[in-house]
A and B are shown apart, each in its own frame.
Chain A
């Protein structure tokens, strides 16, 4: 820890500027969420004369017969289930790549690594065409299935297992008669704890913010995640300017789950990130 070292004024200045850079948009969002449509248009962006936050929230949840609540639930479903299952899958693959020796293991790992470089947005259209062959577009599966797999998660899982689960432990379990699945589930998974949390959070945020895939896959607004729903509303400002307040309040509410998740799991996240940084 470097907590005892004195902070240089120059460093502090840089930190303050960076902090303002990241916090100001959030501040603007929070302030704007308390304004009426009229104030939003006329007043300065950084201060609010009055507080209409609660009535704005009520308006938001009342709009289009409460579809915003539905979007939040959908986002939680996509991101929660997607990240949970995705983490287990990534851990299993990472475990296999770390603890088993088989032909083509390195080639496989490299292929997965190469997958990290492909932007997910580029895959959305091909996925759409494949999904429409099997009639799965415009369903929950259309967003959920592609969210379950992530090459970066596999990479993180392998690195974390390399570091957290010694080969000796796995060998000992095997000597004691535990099968591969049993060793993975009862020994591998618990031992990589913080790494799992890192992967889970990472996936959760990615899926929560995912926009391109739902945009291309979904037509039914009752299946939309928050990102796509708010985007659709924001395209309709011309027809209904009062949507602006709803979109702002909605955006503020939509960032809360991610912030809460980070705060709750922060200590795991910290250890998880540095895991594997040094070889013991």
Chain B
């Protein structure tokens, strides 16, 4: 699609400072007045009460995807004093984030916006987001799983620039029946994964162990690289150090390159009809994917029910306990909101209420990020599709060991650079590893064009 220019102008003061925790965000960090009456937030939310306001408060809320609007409707019906108006915007990296940036510049930002974890820094580093930690009780804070809490803090201890809603811990979904039939062990390391791929290809030359999802999904590649301890972005003085082509990422690219060259991995466009068809016909035997991928497999290959199982993501070193994330996000409150406290209450309800979870889980298979919600029976039931395995035990364990990874200030551009470079490599039959160098150059120059100080 055509992209349009992204004039960022006023962030330079904000970057780095926020990331290194030197800035206190005036006006949004204070806890709500404890003694104020009125402004009831309903029974579902236990956080501090918001200061009294004249009449009902109306909040604008932007998101995409099924379920978010229905959940907001439920909130509206139970919270007459805080009414939420929902806007369905395009998927974040396909125009939704650009829309939010435009709105911020025009002074028409919503009160609340859905941001994936990898894009919170893009808005936070420009000082567009409110730190809502002051509106969240200590008990609520303690309930969020640790890696997610860290991800929304943007490096400032205890800060919350987003209220997490759903996570995307990764594991390996595989065809247990085919693995057993051909005597292939479930790989626990990526080296074993590569050997298993060769066996699969030998057993069925038209099949592969896995598809390389990086052509259209740079965030998938980012997740796998982060598992190998890659660090693409780091705050550096007033600017950013960028290294999307670091050694760990290149090793990840090389692994998939070898499998692609041996034709033991496929190069289909993930989620395309061809890809779904390959899954359904048993031509792709496994998928390193996030927790929501389980639902995708179910809907793409309904006839293979009972044939699948879930195992921990293979690791780079034997015995290591480290996973990765793909997707997931939460609701951020924009700094310009006139009702940050009420907005935070709504966001908290979305992320912590069993009623909201029920709607979001049914609609898009949301996987919650609080210990309380994770204890819901929904996540301990045996799943028939996966041979009665309790698959969420695997994902739960994965969510505890996701690596630290700092997201950069312009992930939409970064992802575009990487998917472009990968796709070029596919057409030109050059290596993914060289494509990362190409992407690095592109990311650096696009960030410099946007006014960031960049070191490599």
Contact = CB atoms under 8 A, between A and B. Distances in A.
B108 A121 contact: no
B108 A238 contact: no
A202 B107 CA distance: 35
Given A40-B273, A124-B4, A125-B4, A239 B364 contact: yes
Contacts of B94: 235
A212 B66 contact: no
A238 B90 contact: no
A41 B64 contact: no
A42 B277 contact: yes
A219 B89 contact: yes
Interface string B62-95: 1011100000000000000000000111110011
Nearest to A222: B88
B62 A121 contact: no
B87 A219 contact: yes
B4 A238 contact: no
B106 A132 contact: yes
Interface residues of B, number: 36
A122 B7 CA distance: 13
Nearest to B5: A125
B299 A128 contact: no
Contact of B102 (A216, A220, A221, A235): A216
Contacts, number: 79
Interface residues of A, number: 31
Contact of A236 (B4, B91, B99, B106): B91
Nearest to B301: A41
Interface string B272-307: 010011001100000000001000100110100000
A34 to B, nearest CB: 15
Contacts of A133: 106
A137 B106 contact: yes
Contact of B4 (A121, A138, A237, A239): A121
Nearest to A221: B88
Nearest to A125: B4
A244 interface: yes
Contacts of A121: 2, 4
Contact of B271 (A128, A215, A238): A238
B90 A220 contact: no
B90 A128 contact: no
Contact of A42 (B87, B102, B280): B280
A216 B106 contact: no
Contact of B281 (A42, A124, A232): A42
Interface in A138-159: 138
Given A41-B273, A241-B300, 9 more contacts: A42-B277, A42-B281, A125-B102, A128-B102, A137-B106, A215-B99, A219-B89, A236-B91, A242-B299
